[in-house]
Amino acid sequence: MLPNLPRVTKILLIANIAGFILQWLLGDARMELFELWPLGDGMYDPNGAAHSFMPWQLLTYGFMHDPTSIFHLAFNMLALVMFGAPLEHTWGDRRFLTYYLVCVVGAGLCQLLVASIAVSEGQAPYATVGASGGVFGLLLAYGMLFPNQRVMLLFPPIPMKARTLVILYGVFELSLGLTGLQPGVAHFAHLGGMLFGWLLIRYWRGQPPFGGRKPKPPSKRPPLRVVR
């Protein structure tokens, strides 16, 4: 399977698996510096370690997963392969990598905002990990580039168009984020990955809110006649 994957998709897959193995070997406590923590003065644990935000966490958190559950990693990596490979074949490796990293950072920014507001209101700080922000960005791009391509859900196994899947996932994540029915999941990070992915695609296409391409004015020269 791996030899048939495009280069960047393969590298991202290996990087996420390597990050998971490092967390499992070294322990989550030693990797906290690379998890995404909210803004604030820092909360100290009994061992004296400070939990605080650092700029590089906006990227590194996206290559880490919960070391106690392999299902989080497996689901994200399956989606990375399913949606990332065709996108990389379409865009090329540089544009695909740019898109994926923008989605990861954009998701991190949205989660940072939500978590920091929660901490300012008295909630205990918590770390965010996972490639889901980048994966949801890939899902959105796949739905935009291949809207009529039929995909199959895992649970339940229902086939539907990619465009329909993106809309359903977006509404589902927004409802869970607003209602708090599924705590412990960074729903606004998922939405942030989709939002920044949508904005980047609109930017590449020259579409609003980045302005449209102005059509070329018609030529004032009279049309040529071919004399036979």
Total count of domains within the chain: 1
* pLDDT tens-place values along the chain, 228 residues long: 566 899 999 999 999 999 999 988 888 778 889 999 998 755 444 444 457 899 999 999 999 998 887 888 998 898 899 999 999 999 999 999 999 999 999 999 999 999 999 888 888 888 999 999 999 999 999 999 999 998 876 666 788 888 888 888 778 777 766 665 555 677 888 899 999 999 999 999 998 888 765 555 555 555 554 454
Cα–Cα distance between 221 and 173 in angstroms, integer? 55
| Residue 98 domain boundaries | 2-205
**Greatest extent of the chain over all pairs of C-alpha atoms, in Å:** 93
Residue 28 exposed, middle or buried by CB count within 10 Å (0-12, 13-18, 19+): middle
In a domain, 213, yes or no: no
Give the CATH number, domain containing residue 173: 1.20.1540.10
In a domain, 195, yes or no: yes
User: Containing H/E element for 51?
Assistant: strand 50-51
